[in-house]
Homo-oligomer: A and B are copies of this chain.
């Protein structure tokens, strides 16, 4: 972090403000709202959202430490899509559609594993290289009926930033994730040296709620005092709300600040460190900035990561159906941290686990309420919920609707 850089230099230039459309479902004169009822219920809209939003944006997939050796892979399942995230070589990470090009078998069933020199379909033993090229179609030679070159594994786009892997199934890749991140976030991230982290534990949550309710909840802290008393012990909820009012951008990916109260060490039940082995340069004596909490966000399909001097967590929401979502959480520690010595898994996940359960329980109740025929979205607070306005405008823009 360059001490001579001013705050304004550190901001990515926001897009020029767009005047609100009179046809937008969000704008109601003196107030704005969330989306109409059917936006959270309709299965046809949901399918369209998967096409136009989830398959277009950058979706958080995981971290390079999960696939250290060439041939290592893990799977990202997103609605009906399944991607194989694999290190094809020391320098190349690919995301292959997990589908044999012959008759469509799902190639990998395990959530992670290692490929030998060939990726072999068990149905008729068609085989592919680690780079996805078709190596052999059993009993059909190259060029006999078709050209092997046309039938390699289908690829999604990959963008790696600070070791975090993002994928997009769009025809044309969005701009690289690194180009979307502001200088301050990059500087803060570099202090924790993300390439030297590892995933200590992963946990999957389920919620009977539309994915956009998870997004809306994520981009406001209006609910923090009432819903998250434990979280508010160490979170500076007021500074968090300020982030959504001032620093938040409706970008596909962006830096995130998760401010801890200044006098505390980390985001935890009591404000103390959860891992003794501090991350990156902090373990080597670099002074810890005041209220340190850096991270990133993706949207409209919502993921967020928050990193403190000792540990971090990335939560990735994924759509299942109009009324159902999942959220996958990974907790990160220093690559040399030892479980049971430097950190205790149960203690480490506690603060986020409680907070996640509180949020998802709220979203399930909200889904039930929104389902009622008499529900119309109510006035949102311009000071407390501006992030909802921005995020939903981004959503409407991607859906090709007036925003």
**A residues neighboring B (CB under 8 Å):** 30-31, 34, 37, 51, 55, 80-82, 97-107, 109, 122-125, 137-140, 145-146, 151, 154, 169, 216, 222-223, 226-227, 362, 365-366, 368-375, 377-384
Contacts and interface: CB of A to CB of B under 8 A. Distances in A.
26 contacts: A34-B103, A34-B104, A37-B104, A80-B373, A81-B372, A82-B369, A82-B372, A97-B372, A99-B369, A99-B370, A99-B372, A103-B378, A104-B366, A104-B369, A104-B378, A105-B365, A106-B365, A107-B369, A122-B362, A123-B226, A123-B362, A124-B226, A138-B222, A138-B384, A139-B384, A145-B381
The 6 closest A-B pairs by CB, nearest first: A106-B369, A104-B369, A104-B370, A106-B368, A99-B369, A80-B371
A377 to B, nearest CB: 7
A103 B366 contact: yes
A124 B222 contact: yes
Nearest to A365: B106
Most chain B Cβ neighbours within 10 Å, of A103, A151, A226, A227: A103
Contact of A140 (B55, B145, B379): B379
Contact of A227 (B100, B123, B368): B123
B103 A380 contact: yes
A98 B101 CA distance: 44
A375 B226 CA distance: 46
Contacts of A139: 222, 381, 383-384
Contacts of A80: 371-373
A104 B375 contact: yes
Contact of A378 (B101, B371, B377): B101
Contacts of A122: 226-227, 362
Given A30-B145, A82-B368, A145-B30, A99 B375 contact: yes
A203 to B, nearest CB: 24
Given A226-B122, A226-B123, A372-B97, A377 B146 contact: no
Contacts of A368: 82, 106
Nearest to A368: B106
A17 B123 CA distance: 30
A383 B37 CA distance: 47
B151 A379 contact: yes
